[in-house]
With several copies, the nearest count.
Chain A
Amino acid sequence: MVEDISDGSSGAFVVDIDGYEGPLDVLLVLAREQKVDLKEISIVQLAEQYLAFVAEVGRTNLELAAEYLVMAAWLAYLKSRLLLPEPAGAEEPSGEAMAAALTFQLQRLEAMRDVGARLMARNRLGQDFFARGRPELLSGNRVTVLRVDLFELLKAYGGHLRRREDVQPLRIPTSELSSVEEALERLRRGLGGFPGWESLWRYLPPGTFEGLNQGRLAARSAFAATFAASLELVKQGRVKLRQGKAYGPIYLKAAGPESDPQ
């Protein structure tokens, strides 16, 4: 919501990301903070405001939809284009053209918002003016009219297609989630390679760390599956696990006879 952004001198934002309708909406709210006509807006300043906004949301560990990040990247690029001299003979639109396009987009969106509000403020049927409360059917020969409109027709077709889809053989789509079985397999294969205590991290599939940082579901499932698999191997007496303190790193070692003094 608009009111939820305050550009206090402390630099503290209060951000309600759910209140926004996408990155352009955020930009429009930020642009209003410059308190000038949209046509006069400083795009460099706006880019900075937006990047600060995204950083703030990132700092408070809120997840931002990809479109917000794409806009951030584009704005960072645009800012650099505007601040640096234009390369000669560039094929791309100039920094100014890109800035003008953004200004146009903001104006256009704001215009649509305004007219939307003006529409709703009009006298409206059922609110300000009214239909005949007692419509009459004029009598005469009896003709049956089938009552159906385009919406109902399309809805019927949609419903039919859906039901058809429902009776199709069940297809189980491949999932990118990790299974414990896969993790077990990976641990078993890996165990030979590291005779001593080794961090459990090393047994995670490639890319898991990056994925975790981005909060990706697949990475989180890989992490969980690996941990569960390690417990399973302990139960089978195949490995030993060690953890120095709560939330500390977990180490793992094969429990083979040659590495185990007992």
Chain B
Amino acid sequence: MTDIDRRHLRMLEAVLFASADPLSERELAQRLPEDAAIPVLLAALKADYADRGVNLVRAGKTWVFRTSPDLAALLSRDKLTERKLSRAALETLAITAYHQPVTRAEIEEIRGVQLSKGTLDVLFDQGWIRPKGRRQTPGRPVTWGTTDTFLDHFGLESLAELPGVDELKMAGLLDARPAIQIYGVTDVPEAEEDEDADEDDADAPSELGQP
């Protein structure tokens, strides 16, 4: 804590505390003096609040104050009424989160059924998914991925914290290709190297750790 600028820390705290929505490090930098060491300050502030009733949490590239989850019961009267996600929407969300970047066709392949019209729309409207780029395959279909808003909603710091993501990866279950392609050609179940040439998908599943 010695080289932390207390004045900068207070400013950062004030900016974050004032906002109900997560702020990116870039937005924070715009608000603070130029010489403010944002990452160091964020780490210090996070530590300050670690045991309090309010915590500083990271969601992807964004930061925000949230009440501590263990106080949920106390705050139950503040609960927002939410629209229940349909089964199709929930599965689509899970597939998008775990297989991103993923195309609509791949989501349909995994679910074995066509996606009805509004399904992606609901998730997009909610701010949980967004177009991520295009797959370098015929038709150049749009790929979808999750947003920092999604991480914030589910209390995830990064995609690496998705429940069970490591086991699924180890089990080879995070392959969005048609199953018969995976087994049909080589007949060797372990042949799972995914060399999809997705040019603008540098942030493919391999990068799940550092969103």
Chain A residues in the interface with B (C-beta under 8 A): 21-25, 67, 92-94, 96-98, 100-102, 104-105, 107-109, 111-120, 122-162, 164-165, 167-168, 171, 173-177, 217-218, 221
Contacts and interface: CB of A to CB of B under 8 A. Distances in A.
10 contacts: A101-B183, A104-B179, A131-B64, A133-B17, A135-B21, A145-B83, A147-B84, A156-B93, A156-B94, A157-B173
Contact of B79 (A122, A140, A221): A140
A174 B93 contact: no
Contacts, number: 302
B144 interface: no
B125 interface: yes
Contacts of B110: 105, 108-109, 112, 160, 164
B183 A21 contact: no
Interface string B146-179: 0000001111100000111100100101110101
B156 A150 contact: yes
Nearest to B99: A112
Contact of A100 (B94, B95, B156, B189): B189
A187 B208 CA distance: 52
A129 B65 contact: no
| Closest 9 A/B residue pairs (Cβ) | A22-B113, A24-B112, A140-B76, A116-B94, A93-B184, A158-B174, A157-B94, A138-B76, A126-B80
Nearest to B188: A173
Contacts of A114: 164
Contacts of B192: 168
A3 to B, nearest CB: 15
B66 interface: yes
Nearest to A113: B91
Contact of B185 (A93, A113, A124, A145): A93
Contacts of B174: 157-159, 161-162
B97 interface: yes
Interface string B67-90: 111011101111111111101101
B211 interface: yes
Nearest to B107: A112
Chain B, interface size category, equals: 35 or more
Nearest to B72: A128
B93 A116 contact: yes
Contacts of B76: 138-141
A153 B97 contact: yes
Contacts of A133: 17-21, 78
A141 B79 contact: yes
Contact of B113 (A25, A96, A150): A25
B179 A145 contact: no
Given A105-B112, A127-B79, A137-B80, A177 B183 contact: yes
- The listed residue with most A CB atoms (<10 A of its CB), out of B14, B173, B179, B182, is B173
Given A111-B168, A146-B122, A164 B19 contact: no
A161 to B, nearest CB: 5
Contacts of B184: 92-93, 97-98, 101, 175-177, 217-218, 221
Nearest to A65: B113
Given A94-B187, A160-B110, A173-B185, 5 more contacts: A105-B179, A128-B72, A138-B75, A147-B82, A151-B125
Contacts of A124: 153-155
